[in-house]
Structure 1
Amino acid sequence: MVTVPGGELRRRLGLVDAVTVGLGAMIGAGIFAALAPAARAAGSGLLVALAVAAVVAYCNATSSARLAALYPSSGGTYVYGRERLGEFWGYIAGWGFVVGKSASCAAMALTVGMYAWPEHAHAVAAGAVLGLTSVNYVGVQKSAWLARVIVAVVVTVLVVVVVASLVHSPGHPVEVSSTDVTTTGVLQGAGLLFFAFAGYARIATLGEEVRDPARTIPRAISIALAVTLVLYASVATALLWALGPSGLAQASAPIADAARATGRSWLVPVASTTAAVAALGSLLALVLGVSRTIFAMARDRHLPHVLAAVHPRFGVPHKAELLVGVVVAVTAATVDIRTAIGFSSFAVLCYYAVTNASAATLSRAEGRPARLVPVIGLVGCLVLAFSLPVLSVAVGAGVLAAGAAVYLLRKRRSHDD
């Protein structure tokens, strides 16, 4: 075994692995956790909301790719904000990512439980978190391999559901009706759907473990986002056709309900099993991303430095991974999934606001994207964040403010000493 010197991680992931990690995060979250809540908010304007979310996600992906190529280290926007805007904004981004994505992990774990064993969803969710933490602990290569299998299964089954829904279900016209569509509803739906797109950040947060990061990271982000957008649009259209806007809004398991509407009974258990598998894939990538950000923040002593330890045999930040596993398992055993999604969406949108603000400071020589890209991304993130339900905004803002207060208090004590 190769010992990792100086607390650095080994670069073992290629383009396919990096793309797969991003797809595993996005596809599980988007299809099985965000479509129905977004339909409740946006009504027949769901596809419009999806387009809005995609534009913001594209801007964020472009900004993330340029920054990741310049700063190919673990931590994502925590590193970008620190280097481009100052230590405080890097800390706020890292804090928002850790707390927001921890909530995302809990939501994905609960999705696994709801599809696998609804009567004991919380217990299954906690067990899933602990199981995947064990996979991550023995090395990220094994995690990437598992994610590749999960993504292949999920995409295959979703394509079958899409085709069956369009061909065999009774059919509802897919059109925007002015009776159930409002600007606020579409923006709120876009904010919830953005929760689904945010998985490409997992690629950036694995910056220290990707080979040739300046070339691999931008390509992986673009490919993962494009594939996911095509899949999302296809599935959303098929579900609107099979269930109608109101039916999709009320569905607790929309993919399974769409399969049921086709009259193909064999497809229902296949879709339900796939939902659990997809959520596992998303959970796998989410836990990877959160642990790497904690690792980076601990290395800079914004979190306890003991969390910056790298396992001498497996080459992973094992103490950070164990902490994430325990916290998320406890959260998944106790929280409500809708609360987790709303809070996560607000925190992650604020995180990407810092990403775009950081990208706006790049010079042309440093690979700055077209000037409008980070501007649209920044404004879009803030608009979508504050269009979310009032409770989500209030709780999210309170948690971010608490993190800022801790940072400022620690800086004052350091200055006094």
Structure 2
Amino acid sequence: MSSRPGWRFLLATASCAVVLIASAVVPAPAAAPASAPTAAPTGSPTGSPVAGVRAGSPATAPVSRSTMRMRAVLDRPGEQRVLSLLTSHLRTSPPGAVVRGVVWTYSSDVMTTALLDAAHRGVRVRVLVGGISCAEPAFLDLVAGLPAASWARCVRGSARGGDSFDGAEANLHQKSWTFSRVGTERWISVVTTANATDVAETDQYNDAVELVGHHRLYQALGRVFEQQARDRPVRRPYRHVELGGGVAATFLPWTSPTQRDPVVDRIRSLPGPGTVIRVAQSNWQDPRGVRIAHALVDRRRAGADVAAVVSSPFGPRVSAVLREGGVRVESAWFGPRRYSHLKFLAASYDGARGRVERVWTGSENWWSPSRGHDELVLRVDGRSAFVTYAGFFGRLWREARTARLRSAR
């Protein structure tokens, strides 16, 4: 067995099956990790990971700009807010509209019904799923039920890269949806951590960022979708595009294994004193994960207030680096039927023209195989996005801390 497991291990984690795995991969912890350091970090007099963030921030926050509207949807297990957003859009997409969806895993009968209903009303549906879902009954029902103007396909390997990257299996791991029209609105883009699965609907914490009227993001997602639909390697698959309006997108896979790590560079670009960094990551392990942990510790030692909510798998070396470096950590792995699937980094810091607040979110896990996957990371600037994510982080942090303290009794 390879020391770097691919989609088979990830599916086992998502579906909570019991499997034997290579020693390089960390199994789900039996209990939440030991408590994080309690000393108040620089710039956070209370020691709270949500110091400076408005209490009770809503789970959905709209942002109004001259050319677009943004909202962030933060989802708890069973609430199905992301699913409701997508199915609502499908119900109100008019005939002739185009819907494009990309997910790694697909097993949702609810999404199949909504997509088929839309297609039979005249909406043109195009769906790409990872090869792991080629034989899923819900996906086969979708393929069989779509009319001639629509289609759904499975992608084997990485859609814009190869079947492997640096010795590890590669796959289509992106999760996004675009709608050319919903009701009277145009150019709707949704970037999410949620796959189209029953597990995402019932067991996971997920998020989605929706941008309405941002034509450049809609176009960028459409161009990449066209490449993914061809299912063959492109010469330089890695792309970072600044799209205006405080929005940017990063598309993986990496162009080469020796490429500089954009996550490490992203973290190191943040200043130290006065900076607040909040991380929620569901798969954080192996040597790449350790390098990312060191980058966060470097920001902590430079004076930033850094805290992380993790899930499973979470590498023991990553944990040691963070804790020894003064980064506070809580685990939101509450068991195989309730766990965080979030993958975001939120930061607030002083820039040349005042306070800068940013959120990066999307599909990328912080481990080496993600370098070879089709992944999407969206960056959204602005206080509303930061407050929404940091507020949700704070509630998840408190839930994780309470669960840990109860298990220690």
TM-score normalized with structure 1 length: 0.27
Name the one with the larger strand percent: 2
Name the one with the larger helix percent: 1
Q: Determine which structure has greater relative contact order: mean sequence separation of CA pairs < 8 Å that are 6+ residues apart, divided by chain length.
A: 1
TM-score normalized with structure 2 length: 0.27
